[in-house]
Homo-oligomer: A and B are copies of this chain.
Amino acid sequence: MTSTDQGRRAVRPTRQRRAVAAALAGFDDFRSAQEIHDLISQQGDSVGLATVYRTLSALADAGEVDMLRNEDGEAIWRSCSDAHHHHLVCRTCGATVEVEGPAVERWTNAIASEHGFADISHTLEIFGTCPACR
């Protein structure tokens, strides 16, 4: 084992994981796992649906993609910037705008500690109809 502990727990850059990453790079709106799976097929690649789910979950854990739930409770995914942010999402076409709200972050933390809650997380998403879908 080298100093950086390579060799174990390695994440291998497989064809499948590259295909998922490529698909994610190909759009900038939120999509379901099934849609991403379909996109990969259309690009000529073939990746099992279970692998798509596994890869998306891993990327989300690594902070490379954001996962949120649409109004029907389905998980939707998108490659996002590193910084903490929220989303303005078109209910119809999925078009997404990343938004930041420092004031909101402060507010949620204040409210939580005010009530003695620890280990805070929060969800804040805005849904609407974008100009193109009016």
Contact = CB atoms under 8 A, between A and B. Distances in A.
Interface of A: 69, 71, 73-75, 88, 90-91, 97, 99, 101, 103-104, 107-108, 111-112, 115-131, 134
Contacts of A75: 73
A83 B41 CA distance: 47
A101 to B, nearest CB: 6
Contacts of A88: 111-112, 115, 117
B120 A122 contact: no
Say how many copies of this protein the assembly contains.
Answer: 2
A61 to B, nearest CB: 14
Contact of A128 (B103, B120, B124): B120
A30 to B, nearest CB: 14
